[in-house]
Amino acid sequence: MKRGWCPTVHEPMPSGDGLLIRVKPFGGRLSSAMLRTLPDIAASCGNGAIELTGRGNIQLRGLSAATAPRAAQALVAAGLADPDPVREARRNVIAVPPCDDALVAAVEAMLADTPGLPAKFRRVVTGSRVLDSLTENSLSALGGGEGRVRWGKPPALGQREDALLLGLPFGQTDAASLRRLADLTAGHILRTTPWRAFYLEGSHDPAPFAEAGFITDPDDPRRSITACVGAPGCASASVPARADAAFIAARGLRDIHLSGCAKGCGRPAATTTMLIGADGSYRLVRDGRTDIAGLSIAQAAELLA
């Protein structure tokens, strides 16, 4: 196995905490049965960590060469992956809810049946439009461009007019929280989004979801702080970026990205303030310039306060 490609259910990728697999729910749709299956697989085959990516995929971490095939078999049986590894690798569609489910299914099938696609080739479906990226051209009949279309910034969390949007702190949850979510959404379809949040149609009381560990307050500081997985999840990281992000958020700080190493993985394009890990400490970078290096997370928080 090697680094540098997009992992799938059938092709795990090595990481600092073992093997990582990426689950792409068909149409971004998750039934309550699927929500119960995912934590069982995460706990029995991996280390229990469950992530929702910025492309609406679900990652399970900490698998091994012995458990990864078993996880793949269980995910296929649950309807969460195509049994054909080649088709599964091509099936890269980001569904931005609310969207046309039939159109999403058609685009997924088209990609799965198209040979020779680049490994990171994908399409975005938002409403009844097909885009060639999250911010790029709208496509007519899956063909020529119709000009640049932006599908907008992430909407506010919590109860909206049409749905409840549930954020995951720094894009991560655990098996217990996902099982609780399955209970709370029984009989409903939950949708993944490219905002590291779940989308639940209809009107719902946000309180039980907040108690289960999901973010429902649009003003929660954790929504404006981002972080890569950090140590020990990534072998390149020297600092626990996600844990330190929680420390920063608890102090009410906002609009900061924490990276476990100089690569800056997961940084939103608009973020100009970064804490970058190196040799177990951080350097503070603002507007592309290093202000100071060798900081503990407490020192960094004090400087940013």
pLDDT of residue 149: 42
Edge to edge, the sheet with strand 93-99 lists: 93-99, 123-127, 129-131, 137-139, 145-148
pLDDT of residue 1: 41
Calculate what percentage of the chain has a pLDDT beyond 90: 77
- 145-203 pLDDT per residue, tens: 444 444 445 678 899 888 999 999 999 999 999 999 999 999 999 999 998 999 999 99
pLDDT in tens, 67-101: 999 999 999 999 999 999 999 999 999 999 999 99
- The per-residue pLDDT for 5 is 66
Contact 231, 239 (CB under 8 A): yes
Residue 2 pLDDT > 50: no
pTM exceeding the 0.75 threshold for the entire prediction: yes
Average pLDDT, integer, range 227-233: 92
Give the residue extent of every domain in the chain.
224-304
Question: Nearest Cα to 104, choosing from 82, 80, 125, 118?
Answer: 125
**The CATH number of the domain covering residues in 224-304:** 3.30.413.10
Query: What digits encode the pLDDT tens for the residues 99-117?
Result: 999 999 999 999 999 999 8
Q: Which residues contact 123 (CB under 8 A, 6 or more apart)?
A: 92, 93, 94, 107, 111, 130, 131, 132, 139, 142
